[in-house]
Amino acid sequence: MAWKPVPVLHLLNDHLFKYLVASSFFIHAEELPVDSPGVPHWFLKPPVHNKYYYGAGVANFNYDSTKCISNAKQFAAKEIVKSIQVRIKGGTADKKSKTGNKSAFFANEIINENLSAAIYEKSVVLQKVLVDNNIYILIYINKDMSSPKVSIINKLFLKNRRPQNSEPPSWIKTGYKKDGYIYGVSNTEPYYDTDESWEYSATIARYRIAASLSEDTRSLIREYKDGYNNYLEVMIEANVEKVLENTMIKERWYDPANHRYCTLVEYKISD
């Protein structure tokens, strides 16, 4: 007796069929990142949700794809931690004298490394794309730090990869204002790798928020003689150390003409 072929849609309703097709696609897509024509929109404007923390990461992609994906996921996990709480330490030092002007600057971010490791382990990867030899990853985790259920709808919603606008956003020049919030804007030079460039850009944006909230400035003026002439030497030092909570990366923008990395960070003022 010959088997008579039966159309699949006679066995499955339309909704179930679409669900299985989408599930199969994403299961296979998890193996390697999908090649993309441009930096994903969710990296430039990370999603925000009242139930989840989202983290967007980037890393250089080479022959060891597993290590590269891991590096990008670690970047994303640290971004989530920084959005929850981060300690900013930094400062500037300026010296003016007859021999000229000298200046120095540093800024560091200190995070809870144990929390970062926990987020790395429990978070779910929503998207992976490859752009110009860099791997971009988007992860998410429940706000109680438990692993979320994989959502096909969530994946489909974030599938849109609109390229960034050719014109720079207005906040780069004029800043950004909103009642109840403080914003930090950075416009930084590149590092050798893209991930370091974006990380430093976000650090500077957060540093500027911290400096606006807590900055200890000290100055020293010294008068001295050199032969028959009197000279003044002025030294100004500004130190910043502040714990920031609820600092979210609102938007990123890359300036290809000047090779600059720009980041807008949002800080919610406590009630």
Q: What is the pLDDT of residues 58-92, one digit of tens each?
A: 999 988 889 999 999 999 999 999 999 999 999 88
- Tell the residue number behind the tokens 């004029």, with chain if given: 174
Q: How confident is the model at residue 38 (pLDDT cuts 50, 70, 90)?
A: confident
- Tell me the residue ranges of DSSP E strands in the chain: 34-35, 52-60, 85-97, 100-110, 124-131, 134-142, 181-188, 216-226, 229-245, 247-255, 260-268
Give the pLDDT confidence of 121-164 residue by residue, as tens digits: 999 999 999 998 999 999 999 999 999 887 655 655 555 555 55
Are the beta carbons of 244 and 266 closer than 8 angstroms? no
Find the distance separating the first CA and the last CA of the chain, reported in whole Å.
76
Other CB atoms within 10 Å distance of the CB of residue 174: 9
Are the beta carbons of 149 and 168 closer than 8 angstroms? no
Give the pLDDT confidence of 208-258 residue by residue, as tens digits: 999 999 877 777 777 776 767 777 778 788 889 999 999 999 999 999 889
pLDDT at 163: 56
Are the beta carbons of 98 and 177 closer than 8 angstroms? no
Give the pLDDT confidence of 91-109 residue by residue, as tens digits: 888 877 767 787 888 899 9
Edge-to-edge strand ranges of the sheet holding 181-188: 181-188, 260-268, 247-255
Phi, psi of 22 (to 5 degrees): -65, -40
Top pLDDT among 244 and 270 is at 244
Q: What is the pTM of this model?
A: 0.79
**DSSP letter for each residue of 30-85:** TSSPEE-SS--HHHHS----SSEEEEEEEEE--S-HHHHHHHHHHHHHHHHHHHHE
Task: State both tokens at 196.
Answer: 């370091």
